Amino acid sequence: MSLKRTLVGIIRSHEGTGDKVKDPLLKTRYYNLSRDKAWEEVSSTLKKIPGFKVLHEVSSVGEITLEKRTAFGRTIDITVSVLSVSPVRSAIDIYSASRGSMGDLGANYRIILQLYSVLDKKIGAYRMRE
């Protein structure tokens, strides 16, 4: 992680993925899977990650809410969205925010990269390269 990312994390306590973000590691991930199949894989994978607690799942909307406690006792709320782009293509976006008013020193950024890494191990074979 770069020094710039850490400095930004001093004042910012949230991070999210999307199509128009500057950092290529935070771009929305697209997969050649139907939304239902992607939902099953993502849901089962996220439930198995140690240190993360699944708080809420809404399969009809395609959102999973997770919680993670840091070593310093802060709580981080994470929302993983599984979206249908076409009948055989889906997208996964992640939004992570720390509770409290202080920055996170890049913790949300690292959590998003960690979740994408875990998901890529499970469904990376279906990932679309852009």
How many structural domains is the chain composed of? Answer: 1
Give pLDDT, residue 70: 84
CA dist 33 and 37 (Å) reads 6
Place of tokens 């976006």: 93
Amino acid at 32: N
Give pLDDT, residue 74: 87
Give pLDDT, residue 130: 66
Give pLDDT, residue 72: 78
Domain extent for 73: 3-126
Give the pTM.
0.90
CA dist 77 and 102 (Å) reads 15
Per-10-residue mean pLDDT of the chain, 130 residues long, equals 66 88 93 96 95 94 94 90 95 93 82 95 88
Q: Is 89:30 a contact under the CB 8 Å cutoff?
A: yes
How far is CA 49 from each of CA 34, 75, 88, rounded to the nearest angstrom? 23, 16, 27
Provide the CATH number for the domain around residue 46. 3.30.310.220
Secondary structure, 3-state, 56-85 = EEECCCCEEEEEEECCCCCEEEEEEEEEEE
Q: Is 17:94 a contact under the CB 8 Å cutoff?
A: yes
- Exposure of 83 in the CB half-sphere (CA atoms within 13 A): 12
Three-state secondary-structure class, residue 86: strand
